[in-house]
Amino acid sequence: MLQDGQISVHERHEPTWREVSIGFVSTYPPTQCGLATFTAATRAAIASRPAGGRTGVVQIVDGHERSRRAEVMGWLHTSDSASRRRAAAALRNFDVTVVQHEFGIYGGRDGEHVVDLLDELTTPRVVVLHTVLSAPTAHQRAVLEQVAARADRLVVMSGIARARLVEIHGIDPADVLVIPHGATPNLGPVPTGRTALTWGLIGPGKGIEWAIDAFATLRDLDPPGRYVVTGQTHPKVAELHGEAYKDSLRARAASSAAAGVVTFDDRYCDEPGLLRLIRGADVVLLPYDSTEQVTSGVLVEALASGKPVVATAFPHAVELLSGGAGVVVAHRDPQALGAALRAVLTDQVLRARLTAAALQLAPSLFWSAVADRYVALATELEVPGLRIAARAAR
C-alpha cells in the first residue's frame, strides 16, 4: 500500500511499438465527476486490449478522496511543487502521458498550475481538453495557449471544439485530434413505452426545470408520458447549497400539471445499474442550459445505447445529432421541448428512424474503438518514424 505522498516507481520498460505504455493525470474514482469517470473508463479500455501496454494514473486529489486502486501510482496536489515533481517522476515510467484538462482542477487562477506540471514532464504529452470556450477571458486564453504550446498533441471530443482551437487560439490543425468520448455497448430490445430519462450529477444548469414544464404540456397523452431524473446532486453543488436545487425541482413538479409524471431517483448508479436504466428508456432528454458544452458523456452514452435523443442546442448535441439521431430545440423553451417529446413519444415511425441513426453512430463511440485511437496516437508519438510519417500525411 502506498503511504501518504509516495509514488511507486518501477523499472522502466522499453516497449515495442505494439506495447506503448500510457500514464494518465486526472481526477479519478472515488471522486465523482465527469473527468474521473472518463479517465477510469479510457484506461480500462486501453488496458483490456489484447496487445495493450502498461497503464497507470496519477490522481489529482485536492479536496478529494484518494483512490487506492492498483493502477493509481500516486496523488497530485496541484498547488504543491514537490507533489508535481513526484508526479512527473512517476510519469517518466511511461512512454506517453495523457493529461486531462479542465480550467478548475489544477489550482491557481483558471487552473494555471497545469502549465507547471507540463513543464516537469519529459515524455510526449497528450492533453485532452474537456472544455473549449467560445469567448474565453484573456487569462483563460493565455492558459490554454500555454498548455497547447507544451503539448505534443491536443485531443478534443468534437469538431466544434477543434474549430474553436483553430479559429480562436490560432492552433495548428495538425496538432489537434478529434477522438470521441467513449461509451459501453448497451444495445437491447427497443422499449415501446413513453419514458424519458435524464441522468448524471444534478445541479443548476442541467435545465431540468424546463423539462418538468415541458411534461406539464403532455398531460393529455394516453397512456401518459413519464419523466425519470436519476442521479445525486453534484458534490460541489451539495457542498455549497445542499439539496436546494433538487428540492426546488420536486416542488416545481408537485405544483404543476407534471405532478405524478416526474420521478426523482437519487441513487448514484454503478455502471450495470445505469446501463439497465438507459435500456429501459424510450428517449433520452438533455435539456441543458449551456451554450458552451462541446463534450457530453451522457449524450454519447445515449447514442451508444441506440436511444433517440431530445436535446437543447448545446454544441456537442448539434454536432452529433445532425445525422438524424435526435431532435435539437432551443434553450429554456418548455413548449419546444414538449413538442419534440410529443413527436418522439407518440410517432413510432419517427422514433424508429431516430433509433436507426443512433445505432449507426454507436460502434464508433464504443470504448474499444476509442481505446484504439488513443493507442494509435501514443504509438505515433513514441515511435519517431511513425510520428514523422503521420505529420507528413496531415
| Residue 126, all three cell numbers | 497528450
Q: Find out whether the peptide bond into 30 is cis, omega within 30 degrees of 0.
A: yes
Q: Do 224 and 132 sit in the same domain of this protein?
A: no
How many domains would you assign to the chain?
Answer: 2
Q: 370: which 3 cell numbers?
A: 476509442
Same-domain check for residues 26 and 171: yes
Residue 229 pLDDT exceeds 70: yes
* Alpha-carbon gap, residue 124 to 134, rounded angstroms: 28
Same structural domain, 361 and 245: yes
Per the CB < 8 A criterion, the answer to whether 257 and 216 are in contact is yes
Q: Which of 259, 250, 181, 180 is nearest to 226 (CA)?
A: 259
Check whether 197 has a pLDDT greater than 90. Answer: yes
Q: Is residue 33 part of a domain?
A: yes
Query: Taking 70 as the threshold, does the pLDDT of residue 14 lie above it?
Result: no
**pTM (2 d.p.):** 0.89
Predicted local distance difference test score (pLDDT) of residue 53: 80
Pair type for strands 195-199 and 153-156: unpaired
Same domain, residue pair 376 and 309:
no
Specify whether 200 is located in the same domain as 342: yes
Asked if 251 and 142 sit in the same domain, the reply is no
Q: Does residue 355 fall inside a structural domain?
A: yes
Domain-located, residue 2: no
- The contacts of residue 226 (CB under 8 Å, 6+ apart) are 193, 194, 195, 196, 261, 263
Residues 135 and 161 in one domain: yes
Q: Report if residue 4 sits inside a domain.
A: no
List pLDDT tens digits, range 106-159: 989 999 999 999 999 999 999 999 999 999 999 999 999 999 999 999 999 999
Domain with residue 160: its CATH number is 3.40.50.2000
In a domain, 386, yes or no: yes
Q: Which domain holds residue 159?
A: 17-182+367-393
Residue 225 lies in a domain: yes
Q: Do 264 and 173 have their domain in common?
A: no
Whether 24 and 70 map to the same domain: the answer is yes
Please list the residues that pair with 89 across neighbouring strands.
Answer: none
263-317 per-position pLDDT tens digit: 999 987 888 999 999 999 999 999 999 999 999 999 999 999 999 999 999 999 9
Do 48 and 143 belong together in one domain? yes
Torsion on CA atoms 318, 320, 321, 325, rounded to nearest 10: -170
Q: Are residues 372 and 241 in the same domain?
A: no
Residue 8 lies in a domain: no
Residue 277 counted as domain residue? yes
Indicate whether 205 and 274 sit together in one domain: yes
